[in-house]
């Protein structure tokens, strides 16, 4: 991490684009995968909560080491930090303002995607804002903060995976958790490079867990929140909605037993639940879609308002060096 303040480094630059160095990296990575698969085979004989804690403890040890490795696979985490800085320092909306509009900022040389506004959802923008506020105006603290978020998400995802598969047989749940949490590619992309995909997957796995608990409305809300981190999670939402409707039809239970419904819509749900099965499904669909759209509107509203103010302002302020 001693190179953390050197902009736009990557594996190729660090290895001086030498074929021998690239080959050594590939061989070492392959050996790590061999050890990883060997650990998975051993974990298939493990069972119980103690074994889960052992796997999670070793995961934290691995993460504590990788936490201090330079993000040599991608510089996206520096983009995350700079876009959070846009909001905290300059009161600009990163969903609208491009980094090259703040080219005088001393942190600008670290940005890769200088010509585009943030491609992520508003929920990620708020999370980034909070992390920058906690870390303060310091590169290293921000870098560690974003990586720590990835570590936390890996632990939460591991717990959700354990809850989802623990009924599938002896040793299966712990082994599957290890298969996820010790995956070298996951650790490299999430902890070393600090990518935000693992936060998105936390929402997706949370949605699946809520679905298995028959909390259908909350499951769809979790799916929408995942998409508000990164839009690629949006593909899960319609599939999950269809699965919820099918489960309701098969069980004959109405939306009133499908999870939390927003208070303003509860009366409508109760009224419709008195009818036939299709009416109850319709009640669930209307209330859930309305709730999800309300969440999207609430999260996007400040961004849209700020964009309007920015457009009316007739330009942008340049950062002070």
For 54-113, the pLDDT digits (tens) are 999 999 999 999 999 889 888 899 999 999 999 999 988 898 889 999 999 999 999 988
Q: What is the mean pLDDT of residues 299-316?
A: 59
Q: Could you give the number of structural domains in the chain? A: 2
Which 8-state DSSP code applies to residue 319?
P
Instruction: Name the more confident of 24 and 13.
Output: 24
Give per-residue pLDDT as tens, 262-282.
454 455 444 434 444 677 777
Range of the domain at 27: 1-195
Residues 29 and 155 in one domain: yes
Q: What is the mean pLDDT of residues 289-301?
A: 87
**What pTM, to 2 d.p., does this model score?**
0.84
- Name the H helices within 103-181: 122-135, 139-165, 172-181
Residues 60 and 132 in one domain: yes
Predicted confidence band at 317 (pLDDT cuts at 50, 70, 90)? Answer: very low
State the residue for tokens 């630059």.
Answer: 13
Residues 214 and 189 in one domain: no
Residues 222 and 185 in one domain: no
Instruction: Name the more confident of 316 and 101.
Output: 101
Closest among 67, 32, 55 to 158, alpha carbons compared: 55
Residues 9 and 158 in one domain: yes
Last residue in a domain, options 195, 221, 255: 195
Last residue in a domain, options 177, 195, 213: 195
Which 8-state DSSP code applies to residue 20?
H
**Can you list the positions of beta strands (E) in 32-130?**
none
Last residue in a domain, options 179, 195, 211: 195
Please report the pLDDT score of residue 171 as a whole number.
59
Residues 116 and 258 in one domain: no
Residues 49 and 106 in one domain: yes
Please report the pLDDT score of residue 18 as a whole number.
83
Query: How many residues are recorded in the chain?
Result: 321
Please report the pLDDT score of residue 157 as a whole number.
97
Closest among 237, 248, 164, 242 to 214, alpha carbons compared: 248
Q: What is the mean pLDDT of residues 109-136?
A: 93
Q: Taking 50 as the threshold, does the pLDDT of residue 255 lie above it?
A: no
Residues 158 and 221 in one domain: no
CB atoms closer than 10 angstroms to residue 292: 21
**CA–CA distance from 18 to each of 71, 120, 181, 217, 308 (Å)?**
19, 35, 31, 53, 50
Q: Taking 50 as the threshold, does the pLDDT of residue 15 lie above it?
A: yes
Residues 90 and 167 in one domain: yes
Closest among 11, 55, 13 to 36, alpha carbons compared: 55
**Can you list the positions of beta strands (E) in the chain?**
none
């Amino acid at each position: 991490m001693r190179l953390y303040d050197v902009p736009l480094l990557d594996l190729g630059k660090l290895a001086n684009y030498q074929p021998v160095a690239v080959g050594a990296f590939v061989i070492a990575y392959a050996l790590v995968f061999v050890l990883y698969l060997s650990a998975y085979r051993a974990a298939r004989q493990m069972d119980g909560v103690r074994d889960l804690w052992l796997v999670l403890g070793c995961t934290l040890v691995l993460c504590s080491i990788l936490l201090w490795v330079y993000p040599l696979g991608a510089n996206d985490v520096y983009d995350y930090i700079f876009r959070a800085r846009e909001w905290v320092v300059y009161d600009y909306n990163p969903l609208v303002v491009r980094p090259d509009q703040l080219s005088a900022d001393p942190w600008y040389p670290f940005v890769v995607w200088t010509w585009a506004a943030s491609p992520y959802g508003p929920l990620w923008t708020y999370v980034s804002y909070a992390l920058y506020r906690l870390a303060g105006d310091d590169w290293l603290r921000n870098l560690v903060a974003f990586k720590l978020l990835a570590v936390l998400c890996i632990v939460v995802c591991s717990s959700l995976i354990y809850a989802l598969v623990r009924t599938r047989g002896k040793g299966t749940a712990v082994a599957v958790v290890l298969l996820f949490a010790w995956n070298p590619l996951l650790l490299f992309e999430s902890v070393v490079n600090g990518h935000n995909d693992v936060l998105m997957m936390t929402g997706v796995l949370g949605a699946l867990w809520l679905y298995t608990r028959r909390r259908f409305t909350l499951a769809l809300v979790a799916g929408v929140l995942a998409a508000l981190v990164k839009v690629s999670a949006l593909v899960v939402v319609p599939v999950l909605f269809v699965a919820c409707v099918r489960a309701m039809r098969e069980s004959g239970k109405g939306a009133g037993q499908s999870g939390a419904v927003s208070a303003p819509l509860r009366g409508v749900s109760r009224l419709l639940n008195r009818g036939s099965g299709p009416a109850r499904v319709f009640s669930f669909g209307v209330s859930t879609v309305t709730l999800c759209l309300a969440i999207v509107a609430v999260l996007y509203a400040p961004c849209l308002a700020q964009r309007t103010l920015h457009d009316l302002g007739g330009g942008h302020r340049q950062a002070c060096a």
